[in-house]
Copies of this chain bind each other. A is one copy, B any other.
Amino acid sequence: MSHDSAWLDELAWDKDGLIPAIAQDAETNDVLMFAWMNRDALARTVETGEAVYFSRSRGRLWHKGEESGHTQKIREIRIDCDNDVVLLKIEQVGGIACHTGRRSCFFQKYLADGRWEAVDPVLKDPKDIYK
């Protein structure tokens, strides 16, 4: 599939050529992580059937799971009403999306006394994920 395809032109890329991407578990609907994509990342995601993001810190494409093995198999791709956000419905290989070893990156919850608390368990020690 061409990276110049019309379906990519329909998206409202920001001034840096990026678009926010939300990864959601296709079975449970839990939100697992949030990242960014550029045109190449989304094109490769569609081509390969696995989530590819653009790492702003590393300044390069990032095939999710390339180190950890925790790839994300694409079940469905959606965009929002303004064509400026991507939603991936995925199968999370290994059951761990977060680099902390948790299932979801959204493990910190706001408590009424005005603080954030980590409420979800670490499933695997990050030392055993990134060797």
Q: Which residues of A does B touch, CB under 8 Å?
A: 1, 5-7, 10, 20, 22, 24, 28-31, 33-34, 46, 76-83, 85, 87, 98-100, 102, 105-110, 114-116
* Cβ–Cβ contact A5 & B116, under 8 A: no
8 nearest A-B pairs in the assembled complex, by CB-CB distance? A29-B29, A77-B110, A80-B105, A78-B106, A34-B85, A81-B105, A87-B106, A79-B108
Q: How far is the CA of A13 from the CA of B1 in the complex (A)?
A: 37
Q: A22-B22, A114-B7, A116-B10 are in contact. Are A81 and B109 (CB under 8 A)?
A: no
Return chain B residues, CB-CB under 8 Å to A6.
114-115
Task: From A34, A76, A107, A115, name the one whose CB has the most chain B CB atoms within 10 angstroms.
Answer: A34
